[in-house]
Chain A
């Protein structure tokens, strides 16, 4: 029987890992790709950020406190919202930003709370060992889902302007005129998560499960967690995106039920 205790990596062993960076640097140089700076910055940032997070998490786990867990969750949500805003710089109207500020936290937190308190039933309720990594996964994926939903909705409102106007002319309200766009955008937003679930366990072993197994957790326990987390991620993505779409379509119309771009474009 193989000894399943964790092999702790020392500084020298991690340093050996950087050999890959050297190999890529050589390839970049040989091909004249001009990406040395990006590669070095990415490697340094990854290392520094993770080392810092390691220290922070160690400190938090040693002295757990409800306020610290709550702050960590809030920080992740705020960071996720600003990441979405930055991705669509100049493209988001003020009302649509408000919808993102509501839908991302609400959708993510509903899925998260259900998973943490009904499924895993963590003790104590602010246990950072569970709250921090699981919040990261759920909010991070909800952010990606909403980003896809926003992108799809903005593009479709532009591309399908004629269809929407035709529906309005025939007497549709905003909801009826946007019906297909909401459905198509929801589909676009949740598809990557569903594809991920389809390939899971066959095409690849998910990161969280791999991490747990490497840390010495029995695969059957790791799998149970992975299934639960995957469902929470799907819940977070679906809820936050759906909320965004059913609140967000209204921002494309004015109070006279006219397409805002139409009114401006004449």
Chain B
């Protein structure tokens, strides 16, 4: 699926070679500032590498239409930005960009999936940090993309909520045969849920499985 060759991004990232397989859960671990978020941004084309090539299914990302690419490779930022308005406005925004629509019943089902028990008409101003994080997750689930990039999706949550959210994500990904590339600071989460991990140290990467190391 994703294949990186001599990819560099300024002084942040330097990856001679890296392959990310489809249909797996790939964990990105490492200290903050080691280049994990930059890799996600490169994979969804929010930024382009300063050198090297990133291929997706044999085609260079530079040659793929950026908007279409971001509609099949959806990223959830560490601190997702919610648009002003209601929960429904936020869920529909991404769908609008994807030229899709969804009934209220389906939207409510997605809210239930992420355990956000609030009406669709609720203003986003009334949401706590954790609720906002869960809404942002529902907003990307509803898009039904092929590949999900998640940057510490549970960072704003307590331990119990964190486990619930990660299990929700993993269940969603496995049930719908999605590919997930997820940054996590939590080694035990990486060990338990990720099929493979990429370890980051000062912009360099090392592949493997945590239990093998």
Instruction: Give A residues with C-beta under 8 Å from B.
Output: 162-163, 165-173, 176, 256-258, 262-263, 266
Contact = CB atoms under 8 A, between A and B. Distances in A.
Interface in B33-50: 38, 44-48
Given A163-B81, A258-B47, A262-B46, A170 B66 contact: no
B131 to A, nearest CB: 17
Contact of B12 (A256, A258, A266): A266
B67 A166 contact: no
Contact of A173 (B46, B48, B67, B74): B67
Contacts of B75: 169
B205 interface: no
B45 A256 contact: yes
Contacts of A176: 96-97
Contacts of A262: 46-47
29 contacts: A166-B77, A166-B81, A166-B83, A168-B70, A169-B46, A169-B75, A169-B77, A170-B93, A170-B94, A170-B140, A170-B143, A171-B67, A171-B70, A171-B94, A171-B143, A172-B67, A172-B97, A173-B67, A256-B62, A256-B66, A258-B45, A258-B47, A258-B48, A262-B47, A263-B47, A263-B48, A266-B10, A266-B12, A266-B47
A165 B83 contact: no
Interface in B1-29: 9-10, 12
A256 B140 CA distance: 22
B123 interface: no
B98 A171 contact: yes
A167 B81 CA distance: 9
Contacts of B9: 266
Nearest to A265: B47
B61 to A, nearest CB: 9
Interface residues on B, range: 20 to 34
B155 interface: no
A163 B83 CA distance: 7
A176 B83 CA distance: 13
B134 interface: no
A166 B66 CA distance: 14
Contacts of B80: 166
Of B45, B70, B139, the most chain A CB neighbours within 10 A belong to B70
Contacts of B10: 266
Contacts of B139: 170
B144 to A, nearest CB: 12
B71 interface: yes
B68 to A, nearest CB: 8
A171 B74 contact: yes
A105 B143 CA distance: 43
Contact of B93 (A167, A173, A257): A167
A172 B75 CA distance: 13
Contacts of A169: 44, 46, 70, 74-75, 77
Given A165-B81, A166-B83, A262-B46, 20 more contacts: A163-B81, A166-B81, A167-B93, A169-B44, A169-B77, A170-B74, A170-B143, A171-B94, A171-B97, A171-B98, A173-B67, A176-B96, A256-B45, A256-B48, A256-B66, A257-B45, A262-B47, A263-B48, A266-B9, A266-B12
